[in-house]
Structure 1
Amino acid sequence: MTVIEALAGACGPEQVWEAGPADTVDGVPVGWVAAPGGPAEVAEVLRFTAAEGLSVVPSGAGTKLDWGLPPTHVDVLLDLSRLSGVLHLAPDGLSATVAAGTPLRALRAYLLKERRRLPLDVGSPGATLGGVLATNEAGPLRHRFGTPRDLVTGVRVALDEGSLEHGVDGSELARYVCGSLGTLGVVTEATVRLEPLPAARLWVVRPVSTPREVRQLTEALTASALDPAAVEADLPGSLPGRPAELAALFEGGEAVVAHRAESAAKLLGGGAMVEPLPPPWWGRYPFEAEDVALKIWGRPSELFAVIYALRDAAGVPVPVRGSVGLGVAHVALPDTIAPERLDGMLTAARTVLLARGGGGCTLLRAPLELRELVESHGPEPLPTAAARLKLALDPEERLAPGRLPDLS
């Protein structure tokens, strides 16, 4: 039996095809594409690929397949877009079980009718739930609700040899599958915590001039009793025509939100304004499709020292945006940046973070020729538990091979 025949037997003949020039994963060519229609079909594909020693990379909408390290090779691209829909909504409306290929837009529309939300306001508008879990992607609301690791209470995962396993809240599987880039198993569905829709939302937006000022204002805001749901900053660097801004979101009952927003505007001063809508940059990444993208994280009080170190290494201010209240931000660089300059920036950021209590600086996305010349993830190996889980679940590294930085 040929590969195409076996995959067609699992998924149906119309759901399998030999890959063409457009079927790549971060520039790596694909052998075949299979689009299973449910968990059993995913498991059947993995049983076959394990028996044949074929590599598999799962994909949802493909919005972040160029994040992290590219796979070393891809025999079968597993298109999970047919695994879609809300499978179960808890009677109390506080959790839902959702198929991994469900677009977040569709999930939001469904939950809106129930006056509920999944508080994952990610910067990838076309993303699926599975893709968000695979990258542990989060947006401004991480300030209050955390990342997918904090919101997932259970997962159903198809493992390398084709078994279907459940990971419950607090288990290593449920925790580390978030951010694993598809290397531990193929998530077919997840149970996630939901929140009621807030009655009111207001933003307080203030112009700022330096990263130091952002730090001072952020510390004043987070130390107050005003309890913002999110605190974000946009520092456009040397881009002309864009002011730097700090913005805070307040959610809850109308009277409480109005009072807190007005109090925050007074606390921040300097022309801070209460707005009914977010600034245009809110919840968006600072980089465009062709840019080099970095992610930096550390203690909130130390994040700004990293921003200054990046500026010094680059020779000019660079665009930075992110959740300054938590010490998480993204950086945009032109794809024309010289490898030695990029390496210097990564080294400078990691040196500052190491000296100031820890954190990290990851090369999130870049042209392959740049990634081959710099250390994308830094010297830190995987957490011991994550590395142990990878070796237990996929010892022959057939799932997204090469996507994890280090198994030592």
Structure 2
Amino acid sequence: MPPRRSAKSKPKALDALAKVCGDVRPGEPEEGVLGVVPEVVAAPATVAEAAEVMRTAAEKGLAVVPRGAETRLDWGTPPARCDLLLDTSRLDGVVEHAAGDLVVTARAGLATDRLAGILAEQGQRLALDGPLPGSTVGGTIATAAAGPLRLLYGSPRDLVIGLTVVRADGRIARSGGKVVKNVAGYDLGRLFSGSFGTLGLIVEATFRLHPVPAARAFITRAVPDAAGAREAVRAVLRSPAVPSALEVVAPAGHGGIVVGVLLEGVEAGVAARTAQITALLGGDAETGEEPPEWWGAYPDGTTLIDVAAPPTALPDLLSAVGDAGPGAALVWSADGRGHVGLSGGTTSEAAAQLLGGLRSVLAGAPHRGGAVVRYAPGAVRKELDLWGPVPALPLMRRVKDQFDPERRMSPGRFVGGL
């Protein structure tokens, strides 16, 4: 299917936006968001300019879809309209790095791997090891993306201590700050984490930082079956070793189930804890200072399913993926989040069967988890219920009504058509 233009054409939008923003142009077909081509693309360079763009969009009734580095722009559902694609690439750089306070404020368009390089010069890091290189600060927060380190350090909602956003009407809103505490009113960092651009435009974020560890060790071991994986995970989590990350991967491509553990800290402490974990996992466990090639990556495939599955659900999760056949793969973190990948040859019927099976296994007691489709080929996507049941949907709609009563921010991109 060829890309389609936004259903609501705005021929005068470009002229109006050009008066308040130095980088405005017509949208191109290749810039379509899941097939919906924007009428106009604007790239503000400052917070003030972004606010003026959003104010003008409100005056003209434009539907706005934020764009970072496009690493996750294919997540979610196609927007109902995309009159204005708001590019954050010029909202770049570090605003302030208070190294003594372990705090940094960065603009939304800054790539997280570039931020990592800047922080490393001071021996510090943002403990968000996102799987996709080039992901921006704003996009990482908007999709709540996090890698293996979330076991110890948490996700964006845990590490964001201050956020600056531009609301749908162009007003600038801030919460938090350079100190590690909450403030009265909305905690925007938590509210906007995982909001998929439906509440407003993220322009700056302040993060809590951590020192770069002096030493690290990766310990991996292949286990024979799901029961072996469950016992290995249980043993590591119950040990005093305090892993920074614990990952489990299963076919395709790995030949079996593999458990991986990351330990960090001072050199002597890491050495002692490595010996402890090696003994727990078995004498044939492998150790090294560099991660295995699969570490922190999404599973291969053209369909990606995000699963919320606590450690108690791991055997059922592995069984469901194994039953799906050789084209299915799993990457799971002991914090209870993971991803299932399906190969390009997977039919919509097979994908729907696996998705239904995952939701049946994970829903309710004792697991209380779920499964959400992040991306899939168009033909497969149309046949799937991407989001599944969402008990909090009425509350989410009330929040949407307060922040974006005209439903112009990324309309239709999120659960329930939000």
- The TM-score normalised by the length of structure 1 is 0.94
Contact 2:321 2:330 in 1 (8 A): no
* Runs of 4+ with >4 A deviation: none
Q: Which residue of 1 aligns with 2:320?
A: 309
> How far off is 1:387 after superposition?
3.0
Distance 1:370 1:83 in 2: 35
Indicate the residue corresponding to 2:265 in structure 1: 252
1:8 corresponds to: 18
Q: Distance in 1 between matches of 2:394 and 2:216?
A: 41
CA distance in 2, matches of 1:58, 1:317: 33
Q: Write the distance in 1 (CA, Å) between the matches of 2:107 and 2:221.
A: 40
Mapped contact 2:213–2:266 kept (Cα < 8 A): yes
Whichever residue aligns with residue 16 of structure 1, its letter is V
Does residue 399 in structure 1 map to residue 412 in structure 2?
Answer: no
Q: 1:173 deviation in Å?
A: 2.4
- Measured after TM superposition, the shift of residue 385 of structure 1 is 4.4
Q: Deviations over 1:144-200 (max 9, x none)?
A: 000000000110000000000012236342212010011111000001100011111
Does 2:293 match 1:280?
A: yes
- The answer on 1:20 being equivalent to 2:28 is yes
Equivalent residues of 1:105, 1:126 under 8 A apart: yes
Measure how far apart 1:55 and its partner are. 0.5
Quote the Cα distance in structure 2 between the aligned partners of 1:8 and 1:127.
27
* Stretch moving more, 109-118 or 266-275: 266-275
User: Aligned partners of 1:402 and 1:113: how far apart in 2?
Assistant: 41
Which of 290, 295, 299 is 2:306 aligned to? 295
**Matched letter for residue 283 of structure 1:** G
Are 1:148 and 2:163 matched, yes or no? no
For 1:186, the equivalent position in structure 2 comes to 201
Q: CA deviation at 1:391?
A: 1.2
User: Aligned partners of 2:398 and 2:227: how far apart in 1?
Assistant: 41
- List alignment gaps of at least 5 residues for structure 2: 1-10, 177-181
Q: How does 1:114-153 map to 2 (within 5 A)?
A: 114-153=122-161
> In structure 1, how many angstroms separate the alpha carbons of the residues matched to 2:327 and 2:87?
40
Quick check: 1:206–1:270 contact (8 Å CA) kept in 2? no
After TM superposition, list the pairs within 5 Å mapping 1:183-332 onto structure 2.
Answer: 183-237=198-252, 239=253, 242-288=255-301, 291-312=302-323, 314-316=324-326, 318-323=328-333, 325-332=334-341
Deviations for 1:62-118, whole angstroms, at most 9, x for unmatched residues? 110001222122111101011111101225241111101001121011101111100
Give the distance between the partners of 1:124 and 1:91, measured in 2 at CA: 26
Quote the Cα distance in structure 2 between the aligned partners of 1:319 and 1:164: 43
TM-score for both structures, normalised by structure 2: 0.92
**Which residue does the alignment assign to 2:112?**
104
Q: 1:91 to 1:364 in 2, by over 3 A?
A: closer
Distance 2:360 2:231 in 1: 23
Name whichever of 112-121 and 89-98 sits farther off: 89-98
Instruction: Give the Å deviation of 1:50.
Output: 1.1
Deviation for aligned residue 1:398: 0.4
Give the corresponding residue for 1:72. 80
One-letter identity of the residue aligned with 1:265: T
- Size of the aligned set, in residue pairs, is 400
Q: Which runs of 5+ in 1 are unaligned?
A: none
Alignment partner of 1:42 out of 42, 46, 50: 50
Shift of the alpha carbon at 1:384? 5.0
- Provide the aligned C-alpha RMSD in A: 1.8
SS at match of 2:14: helix
Q: Specify whether residues 93 and 318 from structure 1 end up closer, same or farther in structure 2 by C-alpha distance, changes over 3 A only.
A: same
Give the distance between the partners of 2:397 and 2:175, measured in 1 at CA: 17
Task: Give the alignment partner of residue 358 of structure 2, picking from 349, 370, 380.
Answer: 349
Is residue 176–residue 386 contact of structure 1 (8 Å, CA) maintained in 2?
no
